[in-house]
Structure 1
Amino acid sequence: MKKSKLSIGIIAIALVSFTVTSCKDNKQDEKSAKEDHSEMNHDNTDGHHDGNKKEMAMGGEGNSQTILNDYFNLKDALVSDDNAKAKDLGATLATSLENLDVSSNFSDTQKADLKDIIEDAVEHAEHISESDIAHQREHFKILSKDVTDMVAITGTEDTLYEQFCPMYDGGSAWLSMSKDVKNPYYGSKMLKCGKVQKEIN
């Protein structure tokens, strides 16, 4: 496990060196980013509706797909710099996490791991439900790791993209259903800062 964490750390450092230039360029291109902002928000809204359709299609509480849908809606609220909406969605996600059914289809080890992951994720989702946006983003970083760890056990019915921003808090990752980078840690300040570092099927 320690070797794995060390490898991840080395990969993260390498990614920082490759992507930091593009993020700095993004600061210089902030005007053009603002010009495209309305279009990006429109795209973001479409993603939100797609998430709702998928949630209805998957159906039911207590499954990992519901958690993912709530997570993506929360991410979109942070992308849009919407503190109030993120508070509501943090509470929704906490409830979905608590309802995850880990009673079947998992080994004893996986059940124990999932319980630990969910317990931690619920705590961060609850903090998001009662915090200012800067603090929400701090908790979203750890929440994203928890959700990624959950997906490693539960799997996913959709292709997901793990994206990485080298600028926020020494480097931070999040999950997306789109290859297009929309940064939840900076929102409109540096919307495009980051890159896809992994595809999860």
Structure 2
Amino acid sequence: MKNLKPILGLMLLAILIFTVTSCRDTKKEDDHEMDQDDMEMEHDDMEMNDSSMNSSDNMAMDQNKSESDAIVVNYLELKNALVADNTEAAASSGKKVVSAFKAFDVAKYSEEEQKELNDIIEDAIEHAEHIAESAMDHQREHFEILSKDMADLVAITGTSKKLYQAYCPMFNDGKGAIWLSEFKEIKNPYYGSKMLTCGTVQKEV
């Protein structure tokens, strides 16, 4: 019996140590699982925030493109009127271009882009107003500069429409002039029926 007591004591001590160790391991596992759950929740929250931000950015970009698209549509209408040698239609489209430019909101762009856009808009409005009041020859002269403004505008704002930048080497005493078109086929707005197919496509916008 004397030898049995120390043995029982050691067994109890071993059981106690085993129990404490097991509890600690279990706690560690629980803590580890909780940490993993917390990390997964944080990751999900971050993904949701990123998705929300991307969605907002995309909506803002779509809105910007929608506003520039309104200008592009009226510009293309003007271009087609010049292709058709139609002075009255070109004048009417010129007025629409003026209104579209005046309605364009630059506030959504960076400070540097706003400065560029304001310069473009001011110049474009001036030339579109002249187109609305001029004879065909002068309409085409002002259309040349308006087309440069349009190319600069689209380079900043983008557009949802597929456009082609075409080039006429003959216009402006051989100095050449660009225009934007919805067609890859050349239909020259600077000469209309006189030289309808004069020009080449420089690039897709």
Letter matched to residue 129 of structure 1: A
| Equivalent in 87, 90, 105 of residue 83 of structure 1 | 87
Q: What is the aligned residue count? A: 142
For 1:198, what is the secondary structure of its paired residue? strand
1:156 partner amino acid:
T
Aligned position for 1:67: 71
Tell me how far apart the structure 2 counterparts of residues 114 and 141 of structure 1 sit (CA, whole Å). 18
Aligned match of 1:117 in 110, 113, 120?
120
Q: Distance in 2 between matches of 1:186 and 1:125?
A: 18
Q: Show structure 2 runs of 5+ residues with no match.
A: 1-61
Between the aligned residues of both structures, percent identity stands at 52
1:13-54 deviation per Cα after TM superposition (whole angstroms, max 9, x unaligned): xxxxxxxxxxxxxxxxxxxxxxxxxxxxxxxxxxxxxxxxxx
Question: Which residue identity does 1:167 align to in structure 2?
Answer: M
Give the structure, 1 or 2, with the largest relative contact order (CA under 8 Å, sep 6 or more).
1
Instruction: Look up the match of 2:97.
Output: 93
Q: Which residue of 1 aligns with 2:202?
A: 197
Per-residue CA deviations over 1:59-85 (Å, capped at 9, x if unaligned) read 99x810000000000000000000011
The answer to whether the 8 Å contact 2:69/2:161 transfers is no
C-alpha distance 59-156 of structure 1, shift in aligned 2 (>3 A): closer
Structure 2 equivalent of residue 154 of structure 1: 157
Q: Distance in 1 between matches of 2:116 and 2:73?
A: 21
Q: For 2:197, what is the secondary structure of its paired residue? A: coil
Q: Which residue of structure 1 lines up, in the alignment, with residue 21 of structure 2?
A: none
Equivalents in 1 of 2:103, 2:132: separation in Å?
Answer: 17
- How many Å apart are 1:110 and its aligned residue? 0.2
Shift of 1:199: 1.1
SS at match of 2:156: helix
Taking the TM superposition and a 5 Å limit, the aligned residue runs for 1:1-201 are: 63-104=67-108, 106-169=109-172, 170-200=175-205
**Structure (1 or 2) with the larger CA radius of gyration:** 2
CA distance in 2, matches of 1:134, 1:115: 27
After the TM superposition, list the runs of 4 or more consecutive aligned residues in structure 1 that deviate by more than 2 angstroms.
none
TM-score (norm 2): 0.67
Query: Partners in 1 of 2:182 and 2:96 — Cα distance?
Result: 19
Post-superposition Cα deviations, 1:74-133, rounded to whole Å, max 9, x if no partner, equal 0000000000111111011101111101111x1100011001100000000000000000
Q: Work out the CA distance in 1 between the residues paired with 2:107 and 2:79.
A: 28
Name the residue aligned to 1:5.
Answer: none
Aligned equivalents of 2:129, 2:82: Cα separation in 1: 15
Unpaired segments ≥5 residues, structure 1: 1-57
Counterpart of 1:144, as a letter, is: S
**Amino acid paired to 2:185:** D
> What is the DSSP-based 3-state SS (H/G/I as helix, E as strand, rest coil) of the residue aligned with 1:125?
helix
CA distance in 2, matches of 1:86, 1:122: 15
Q: Which amino acid aligns with 1:168?
A: F
